[in-house]
Each structure stands twice: as structure tokens, then as C-alpha cells.
Amino acid sequence: MRVGVHWSVLAVFALIALGLAGGRLPEAHPGRPWPAYAAAGVAAAVVFLASLLAHELAHAVAARRDGVPVDDVVLWLLGGATRLRDEAPSPAAELRISGSGPLVSLLLGVGFFAAAWLMAAAGAGGLAVESVVWLSLINVLLALFNVVPASPLDGGRLLRALLWWRTGDRLRATARASAVGRGFGWALVALGLWAFVWTAAFGGLWLALIGWFLVVAATEEGRQARLRQLLAGVAVRETMTPDPETVDARLPVDALVTERPPARRHTAFPVTGADGGPVGLVTVEEAARVPGPERARTTVGQVMAPLARVVTAEPGEPVADLLPRLGSGAEHRAVVVDGGRVAGIVSPSDISRVLRWRGGPA
């Protein structure tokens, strides 16, 4: 499992550090030297980002315990995201995975509050205590906000799990939860814009931005649910391009980019090892990034995405279960493996073709 940090986290870090150092801390404890406020603000911002990471890692740990592979955890502008390779296998697993993050944030909030109380009782400095109190409040608020029953928040996942348990239909539950998420997001957009117009408060625009993010994410979840519904009952073997052209991992990149005829017709190839089994996936775009003079001595195996990072599927697997995983595959493709050999490849164009046959959006 990979843990990443998007560059936009720098904006969150700066906003928190500057907000504390230039606002809350001087107001609560005036008369201190500026470097003391700055140090306390930076320290609180670092611990808050660590709290966000703990929230997301809780999702990842719970997912793994329920047998759901985790691709990565990424912190970004509006919090964090834990990308799972598969759907939760049951409503109970969905509840555990979704509820673990808010629970950890709540426990952190309680822990920071207890730490602040102990620090104050021990006579610790006011800036340190104030920073820990802020960390307590922000973690509790994070937990409460995330349990709002609106996708894609954790509360939306919890709502989906409950609807799934009641109806027995995961797709219908996802559609309903995403509809609630869109409604909540539009409400935040309206509230944020109203607050900005009437009070000129920058926080109103921030609230509207969060609402817009929720609208976009919930809409995408609803679209995915609709696609899965249209693809219900379709097996991967009915969707894939069978017996795709493969390349040997030992092939020089120069042969793939300039000499191999299929490279002019396709943009991605399953890569096979010496025994003929799949070892990865290479895209022509990635191979073309190798500088010209180095292509003759660079092999496909050196530039390919290894099989561990490639989405794989079996021919009899429902394509509806494969669909959520395609976004994490190299070039959004999946290699179909049967008996240790490459049986096919599934690309977005294959999915679109099946959707056209079934009367859905291509």
C-alpha cells in the first residue's frame, strides 16, 4: 500500500499554520513573541495532517481485515482518500470500513482533550495547551462532518451500507446514497455563497468549494452505480478483447516504439515473461518517454507497470465488479488472466461497446 501527499496539502498546511499563528493563538494568549505563535501554529498543522493520515489509515486497515485490497492512501486539499481495489463484500464490512475513520478521529479528539487537560494541570505553556485544544476540537468536527449521511463522505458509505442491508441491492443503495450526497452538496454550495454575499467572509467560499466537491463526487458515484446496473450479468469474457498482442519483457523499447507494427495500432500491451505468463503492462506512451539513444539498451520490462500495479481479472468475473477497479489500472485497462496466461484485455472502449449494445451511455 502506497501513502502519498498531493501538493495541495501545502495550501491546507499554510492555511492552518497562518490561521493559528495570526488569529486564534494571539487572541487567546496575547503578548507573546511572534516566533512562539509561528512555532505553535506549524506544530499544530503538522499534527493535524498526521491526524488526517490516521483517519485514512484506519479505513485501509479495516478494509484489509475484511479482505479488500488497498491501492493507496492520498492526502489532498479537502482531506484524504483511501482507494480500494474492490467493493466491500457485505453491508457489515462496508459499515466497518466506513466507520473506522470517523471513529479514529473521534478517539483522537477525546485523546487530545485529555492531553490538554493534563498539560494544563501540569502547568504547561498556554500556547501549547491552546494548540492541543484546537486539535481536539478539529478532530471531533472532522468525525462529525464525515458521518453526515451523504456520499462520498464516510456517512454516505454508512448510509449505503444500511440501505444495502435493508434492500439487499447494493446498486440501488449506492444510487440513493449518491442522490443524498448531491442534495447535501448543493445545500452547502448555496449556504456558502449566501454567507459570502451577505458577510463577505472567505469561509463562505470555502464552504461552497467543499459543497461543489461533494456534488461532483456524488454524481460520479451515481454514474458508476448506473453503469454497474447496466452491466449486471455481463462477464468479463463477453467484454474483453480476446488474445491481445503481447510483448516480451526482454524486448528493447526501440522495437516497441519504432519497429513493431502493432505499436501503431494499439497503445498498451500485456507484457509476458520467459515462461509466457503475464508480468506487467506497458503503454507506448511510457515507452516513448525513454530518450532515443537509450531505447536500444532499455527493455520493456524496465519501463512497464509491474503486474502488482496492474488491474487483473478472470474471464468469468462479472464486469460490473471490474468496473470500479479500472480507474486504478495503467491506462485504465485490465489484463484478463486465465490459467496463468493472458486471455484478453479490457479497455474503456470495450466497456463503451458493451454499453451501446445494452442501450446505455457510451
Q: Would you say the pTM of this structure is higher than 0.85?
A: no
Query: Catalytic positions, please?
Result: 56
Residue 175: the pLDDT is 85
Residue 262 pLDDT > 70: no
Residues 358 and 345: beta-carbon distance below 8 Å: no
- Grid coordinates representing 169 are 441491492
- Does 329 have pLDDT greater than 70? no
2 phi, psi to nearest 5 deg: -95, 145
Each residue's pLDDT tens digit, 271-324: 999 899 999 999 888 888 899 888 889 999 999 999 988 889 999 998 887 887
Query: Exposed (0-12), middle (13-18) or buried (19+): which is 173, by Cβ within 10 Å?
Result: buried
Average pLDDT over every residue of 243-263: 80
Distance from chain centroid for Cα 301: 28
Average pLDDT over the chain reads 86
* CA-angle at 349, arms to 348 and 352, nearest 5°: 90
Q: How far does CA 274 lie from the centroid of its chain?
A: 35
pLDDT at 97: 94
CA distance 343 to 235: 13
Q: Which residue has the higher pLDDT, 45 or 357?
A: 45
Domain ranges of the chain: 2-147, 236-357
CATH of domain 236-357: 3.10.580.10
